[in-house]
């Protein structure tokens, strides 16, 4: 994964880690951005101006002369549900993406109590398991089974 990210940075001038941090992209936004870029490349379209080219070499030449490859596309272009779906099957780049946040969006203190990013404390309620239940009565259970 590191070699791929380094290749993108050195050869194409696209630093995914820097973009992720600067634009504060969550995991799903990273997925959509990558799928958008890959789809545009597959269709020989510029990721910034959406100009379509006949050949990939022409698109690469456009990127070289315009500098569009180093600029960030508008959120409205790529932050759409259609880009949740990968352009390539079994995409290793998508499998290796990271999210800087905790899995549940909460941080846990030394006491194990969770607090979200806005410092709202979340404390679990004490629950009691009922010792008596109407379902333990044979007649009620039989009526439910017949229904």
Question: Digits of tens for pLDDT over the chain (147 positions)?
Answer: 788 888 888 887 788 888 888 889 999 999 999 999 999 999 999 999 999 999 999 998 998 888 887 788 999 999 999 999 888 888 878 888 877 654 444 454 544 444 455 556 666 667 676 677 776 777 877 888 887
Q: Quote the pLDDT of residue 58.
A: 94
Answer whether residue 90 is part of any domain.
yes
pLDDT at residue number 39:
93
Entry pTM = 0.63
pLDDT of residue 145: 82
For residue 133, what pLDDT is reported? 74
Q: What is the pLDDT of residue 136?
A: 74
Tell me whether residue 36 is in a domain: yes
CA dist 90 → 5, 85, 103 (Å)? 17, 11, 23
Position 110 in a domain:
no
* 130 in any annotated domain: no
pLDDT value at residue 118: 57
Residue 18's domain comprises: 2-95
Is 105 domain-assigned? no
**Is residue 23 situated within a structural domain?**
yes
Does 10 fall in a domain? yes
What was the pLDDT predicted at 45?
95
pLDDT of residue 103: 46
Q: Which residues share a beta bridge with 45?
A: 52
Please answer whether residues 30 and 51 qualify as being in contact, where contact means their C-beta atoms are separated by less than 8 angstroms: no
Q: So what's the pLDDT on residue 108?
A: 46
Question: How many structural domains does the chain have?
Answer: 1
21 in a domain, yes or no?
Answer: yes
Cβ neighbourhood burial of 139 (10 Å; 0-12, 13-18, 19+): exposed
């Amino acid at each position: 994964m590191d070699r791929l990210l380094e290749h993108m940075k050195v050869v194409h001038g696209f630093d995914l880690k820097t973009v992720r941090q600067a634009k504060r992209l969550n995991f799903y936004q990273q997925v959509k951005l990558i799928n958008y870029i890959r789809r545009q490349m597959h269709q020989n379209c510029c990721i910034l101006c959406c100009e379509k080219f006949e050949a990939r070499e022409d698109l690469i030449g456009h990127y070289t002369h315009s500098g569009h490859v180093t600029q960030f596309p508008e959120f409205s272009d790529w932050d759409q549900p259609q880009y949740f779906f990968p352009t390539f099957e079994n995409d290793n780049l998508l499998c290796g993406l990271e999210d800087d946040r905790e899995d549940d969006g909460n941080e846990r203190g030394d006491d194990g109590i969770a607090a979200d990013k806005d410092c709202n404390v979340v404390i679990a309620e004490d629950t009691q398991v009922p010792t008596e239940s109407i379902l333990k009565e044979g007649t009620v259970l039989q009526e439910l089974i017949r229904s």
